[in-house]
Chains A and B, each alone.
Chain A
């Protein structure tokens, strides 16, 4: 303990006098600092909301790729996105089984349907999936329970994360899909996206009973243990005709996000919103630091007269800017948690304030604050010291 205390004392002793001088200056006027942090936090909150919502939309659009329980997927070569329901011939899955390293090739059917919940007396469009009950190609719940539920005749599983507009739907209820009655056999977790408000799942058998010639929209490939996935992907591509393509679920996820950003202007719209927040933050940060320089013009001028270097003043100002940015990030993040909760409640698309969003918002915020501080510092460095008196 005494050794630690000694080392701590030695460390403190070794710190220069100017260590965190900017932080001391910024934090000295708590009223001004609090006002500046509040202002900057508004800009940060705008960024958190814009970026968070963008990420939530992108993740929702690509969700199915993240839920795949398999090594590879097969989709139609004409399919541009996971929501572009281009079907392919089921025989392609049988052909995929011709590659000796393929253990399973599971079809997934997907289509939009009209869901009528009698108690709610309303009809809403829902996305319907189907797959072999015993194969469970999507991670939407407990495989055993899903299997048991879907093996019941005419059973569907309802997505409990669906938007509330469908009304109360729970196991034991009857609902109508495209005017056919189904029994709700259980609830699973999937979630709505930008277009669809909810989802239902049924077995392949139930699906084919209403549409005997249905063709799948996706095939999930499970490889034998120890198989090189990249090699298998190439082999399957070579093996299968050109009307389908093979990729890993991760590649499908990346492709979907890329497509969404390119095809829809949401990237630009939310990016513009986030940039507006950044600009607001930069202006507030600059104005705060400019005011601080204005208030302490003689003090800074005296330090210049004494011979402190330009880099010293830059460091002091950037410290102040970074402190403002970090404090604003904390306040903005607290606001963002509340905003995300409201957005989740309203849209059913959960947004988690993860490290990805913190970095996406935090790095530009700190960078812009440092830039604003450097710009403000010119008011110290540009005039001759005598002009400041």
Chain B
């Protein structure tokens, strides 16, 4: 089992429970002779305050693991506890409630062209415990966008932004509800170095300030060097590198 609970930040209380616990999870695609196992009896514990990078060759099952932890995909074997609650196969409503507490960042920004940056971020707060008013959301969005060098684009529409700028909006959206768990799938793939550093620093700071965890799937070496822990997936098994 990989325990990701190394040196904690002073900002994170040692009593905090793990944000995610993965036990005995296996996953295979296809049936019969076409069946291919991508995860084999994987164990993983994500402790609060950790910025964890998940690497591995293409098709190693990184995204599959990410989607299982994120309650986007149904479990086949094993169990996963996220934020203290066990995910149950087939319970869509429970999965949805769980996902509301997670900040997702995907390789593609997936922003609606018709919705402004501000409304995109404000919309995300409707999933939080207490939806923010317009002015509260404006203040919060501006704070996050400022950190991402995007403040002047608060009222822009995606069509007016570059790919990298859109991706930074997607990162801001993931952070609007102060999630305890951030799951990122190649979040910096479309970013230049400076923007990647802004994103990584923001996520790291969020993780430390909020006692959250971040699990980031990436091949980006610029991110890897900032990770508290690096986990590599090999032949469906997990190997801790750092």
**A interface, CB within 8 angstroms of B:** 12-18, 21, 24-25, 27-29, 296, 298-299, 301-302, 305-309, 384-386
Contact = CB atoms under 8 A, between A and B. Distances in A.
A12 B98 CA distance: 30
A220 to B, nearest CB: 63
A305 B99 contact: yes
Interface in B98-140: 98-101, 104, 106, 108, 110-115, 119, 122-127, 131, 133-135, 137
**Smallest CB-CB A-B distances: 10 pairs:** A28-B114, A307-B100, A17-B122, A302-B110, A307-B99, A17-B123, A298-B110, A299-B112, A307-B96, A13-B134
A295 to B, nearest CB: 10
B70 interface: yes
Contact of A301 (B73, B100, B110, B123): B110
21 contacts: A13-B133, A15-B134, A16-B131, A17-B119, A17-B134, A18-B123, A21-B115, A24-B115, A25-B115, A27-B114, A296-B112, A298-B108, A299-B111, A305-B99, A305-B104, A306-B124, A306-B127, A307-B97, A307-B99, A384-B72, A384-B73
A27 B114 CA distance: 8
B201 interface: no
B126 A16 contact: yes
Contacts of B131: 16-17
Interface residues of B, number: 32
Q: Which residue among A16, A21, A306 has the maximum number of chain B CB atoms within 10 Å of its CB?
A: A306
Contacts of B195: none
Nearest to A298: B110
Contacts of B190: none
Contact of B126 (A13, A17, A301, A386): A17
Contacts of A29: 114
A26 to B, nearest CB: 9
Contacts of B115: 21, 24-25
Contacts of A25: 112, 114-115
A17 B127 CA distance: 11
Contacts of A18: 123, 126
Interface of B: 67, 70, 72-74, 96-101, 104, 106, 108, 110-115, 119, 122-127, 131, 133-135, 137
B100 A386 contact: no
B178 to A, nearest CB: 14
Nearest to B118: A17
Given A13-B135, A298-B108, A307-B97, A385 B72 contact: yes
B73 A386 contact: yes
Q: Which residue among A13, A15, A24, A386 has the maximum number of chain B CB atoms within 10 Å of its CB?
A: A386
B100 A12 contact: no
Contacts of A301: 110
A356 B108 CA distance: 50
Contacts of B106: 302
Contacts of B110: 298-299, 301-302
Given A17-B119, A305-B99, 17 more contacts: A12-B134, A13-B133, A13-B135, A17-B123, A17-B131, A17-B134, A18-B123, A21-B123, A27-B114, A28-B112, A28-B113, A299-B112, A301-B110, A306-B99, A306-B100, A306-B127, A307-B100
Contacts of B113: 28
A306 B112 CA distance: 14
A307 B127 contact: yes
Q: Which residue among A17, A27, A28, A385 has the maximum number of chain B CB atoms within 10 Å of its CB?
A: A17
Nearest to A26: B114
B110 to A, nearest CB: 4
Contacts of B135: 13
Q: Which residue among B74, B108, B111, B126 has the maximum number of chain A CB atoms within 10 Å of its CB?
A: B126
A386 B123 CA distance: 22
A23 B105 CA distance: 26
Contacts of B67: 386
Contacts of A298: 108, 110
A298 B104 CA distance: 14
A307 B137 CA distance: 19
Nearest to B122: A17
B92 to A, nearest CB: 9
Nearest to B109: A302
B234 to A, nearest CB: 23
Contacts of A24: 114-115, 119
Nearest to B115: A24
